Amino acid sequence: MHILFAGLLWALAANAQQTRFDVDKGTKEYAYSYAWTDDADQRQEVSFKLPAKVVESELATNNGIDRKEWHAFAAQAARDYVSNLPENVKISVESSESGVDMSGSGPDADKLQQHMENAARLQGEAAEKFLVDRFFRRVDQTTVAFDHGRLTVHYADAVKPIARALDGKTKGPREFADRAIQFVQSLPYEKRQRADAGYRRPYQLIHKNKGDCDSKAVLFLSLIRAKFPDVPLGFAYVPNHALGVLGLPMRSGDVAVTAGGVKWILAESVGPAIHPIGEVSKQTDKYMKTIELRPVVD
């Protein structure tokens, strides 16, 4: 049975049902074993090992932004600058959870203003470095977001053991992507909590066996990058949802968006509904005209 929505042909999607998740914690490596049923109701399995120390380090990583720490880091750069000013120039730098405040005094108003501007510039540069080092990007002056593209590139090497295990008998990037996305779809969905950052990095998602839409999209695209580094990748955003896009040759029926001269095929990795490469969920379909696309850049 098929239902037509907004000009797209929709199959009633089955769910990628996870049937096994096991972790064997060795001294040097953690062994992971998964099983799930695919869209043909066939059992699929994958097993791989990851370095124990790296997994534990990733699990201990705080994915959020502590604004007090962020502003204190930025303020210190300004303090380092003003600490070397002439004794008759006084600039105070105070940080809090809400931001950084500076005030000053000196015999020459123009020179004081220049010093204040220099301190503010260094503060701003430090604030940006703090974000970049933690894989965040600015959306606007008051909003920051995870830099999913940089996370994808960063974790491509780390997920190579998973990509090799998933490769099996796949014959190319499209077939590999179809297998990889069903594996990711089978991982239980975790709704983002307001009390935390919500996002899980790939090893965190694998080990805890759950994650939300952008966590799963990063894992999925990292797997593609690990196996096929030349395939163009990107992220598509609609309200309260993120998914991946692939720069692969299109097939009949593929849902895609065009940007930068590239036709990007959409890939819904969130699950548990099984959506093959090129098929989108109802939620995504509602916002196709306003979808935001961000290519992954090395």
Q: At what angle do helices 160-167 and 213-227 cross, to 10 degrees?
A: 70
C-alpha span between 176 and 63 (Å, rounded): 29
Residue tagged 């880091």 (tokens): 73
| pTM score | 0.88
Q: Name the token pair of 229.
A: 């580094």
Query: Which pLDDT score, from 0 to 100, does residue 230 have?
Result: 96
Q: What is the CATH number of domain 2-64+146-295?
A: 3.10.620
Query: Which pLDDT score, from 0 to 100, does residue 38 have?
Result: 87
Query: Which pLDDT score, from 0 to 100, does residue 192 have?
Result: 63
Query: Which pLDDT score, from 0 to 100, does residue 198 have?
Result: 66
Low-confidence ranges of the chain (pLDDT < 50): 1-12, 195-196
Query: Which pLDDT score, from 0 to 100, does residue 289 have?
Result: 87
Query: Which pLDDT score, from 0 to 100, does residue 15 have?
Result: 73
Buried b (16+ CB within 10 A) or exposed e, 150-162: bbbbbbbebbbbb
